[in-house]
Every structure is written in structure tokens, then in C-alpha cells.
Amino acid sequence: MKILYLITKLVTYPGAFMKGFWEHCACRMLKLEVRARQYLPADWNCGHAWHDPAVCYGRAFLLALLPYIAQRILGWLFLGASVGPLLIFGLRGGAESSFFWLEAVALFLGLSLMCNSFPSWEDAKRQWQLFYGKPAAAADEPAETEEPSVAEEAAVPDEAAGLDEAEPLPQPKYANLPAKILLAPCNAYFLAGAWAERHGIPAILAVGITVALLIIRG
């Protein structure tokens, strides 16, 4: 499954790189330290910025939302430039058309951006736990029986083995009941989207959309 994931990220590398860039920007806005500046490493972190885990439910939600909005806006702009002439003006023709290759590039960029919109699987799980997980075990319980808290569940890429260990993170801040209810659809959407991207489903759908458009365009 990791091989499939890496293939889909490399095929849609413009969108994967931009997703890592937007996550980096969001981390700086949210005061989360970025541990590695490589956006396309050969591991599960490909297409993402490896950063300190969010320990506040609000930051975790914004970390998923802000890059998603940026990717979708750019993606729809490129897709509009590609599909617009066909849908609005009814322009047709094969590779001999003067706008064919421009539309093809715009279609590739748009789909690659749309295929890399969701947070990483680890970030999505952490976000879900901060909203609906149980708080950390009581301090009077034996340390051997305590379950790992959200603050301790950071996914470490392969190339990070030689980096210094991060400082202890603050106590996680879990969501209150109104936030759990109001943001439940968004949280479920981000979790499902992150799972789909991890299994390459958006890229497979993008290939089908591309084939369909080429048939119509021709």
C-alpha cells in the first residue's frame, strides 16, 4: 500500500508539493514547528510537511482546513481553465487544436491539486482524537497502565531518526461539546478524505475523469 501511495503522490507531484507548502505555511501561522522541509520524501509523509503534533483541537482543525481551502481554490481555477472552453463554448478538437495542450496542462495541474487536499492520515487521526477521544489518564494511575496521549502520537518519518528529540509537548486540549457537534461533519469529511488519499482513491478517480474528458474533447 505504501508503494501505491508513493506512486500516486509522484504522479500528482505538483499538487503534492503545494500541499506540503500550504501545510508549512499553516504550521507557521499556528506556531507548530516544522521538523523537516522536504515535501516529497519517500515515505508516508510524502506530500506533507512533517511537524510537531497539534495538541489543541482548534489548531488541529485549522491545520486541516487552511491547506484544504488553498488547494481547492487553486484546483478549481485550473480545472475551470481546462474544462471551461468545452462546457461554455463547446470547443472540440484533438491535439491539433490550438488550446489543446494548454487545456491538458491546466487539467493536470487542477487534478493534481484536487488529489492532494486532505491532511495526512496521522494528522487526521490526531484531529479526531482531540475532538472525540478520551482525555489523558488520571495522574494518580500507574505510569505503566497509561495509554499514550495525543501529544505523544507523532508520526516520525524514516529520515528523521538522526534529528534531536522534540521537547515535551503541553497537555492536550480536547474539544468541548458544542465544537464536537458543530464540527462533526467536517471532522468526518477530513478523516474519510485522508483515508482515501492514503489508499490512492482520488488519483484513480482523476485518471477516470481525464479519460472521460479526452473522449468528450476528441
The C-alpha cell at 96 is 491539433
Asked, for residue 87, whether it belongs to a domain, the answer is yes
Asked, for residue 118, whether it belongs to a domain, the answer is yes
Asked, for residue 47, whether it belongs to a domain, the answer is no
Asked, for residue 209, whether it belongs to a domain, the answer is yes
Asked, for residue 178, whether it belongs to a domain, the answer is yes
Domain extent for 113: 54-135+172-217
| Helix-helix angle 2-11:13-29, to 10 degrees | 90
Residue 95: what pLDDT?
53
Residue with cell 488550446: 99
Q: Each residue of 198-213: pLDDT tens digit? A: 999 999 888 887 787 7
Asked, for residue 181, whether it belongs to a domain, the answer is yes
Asked, for residue 14, whether it belongs to a domain, the answer is no
The total number of structural domains that make up the chain: 1
pLDDT category, 107, cuts 50, 70, 90? confident
Residue predicted with more confidence, 216 or 90:
216
SS3 176: coil
Vertex 216, ends 210 and 218: CA angle to 5°? 100
Asked, for residue 32, whether it belongs to a domain, the answer is no
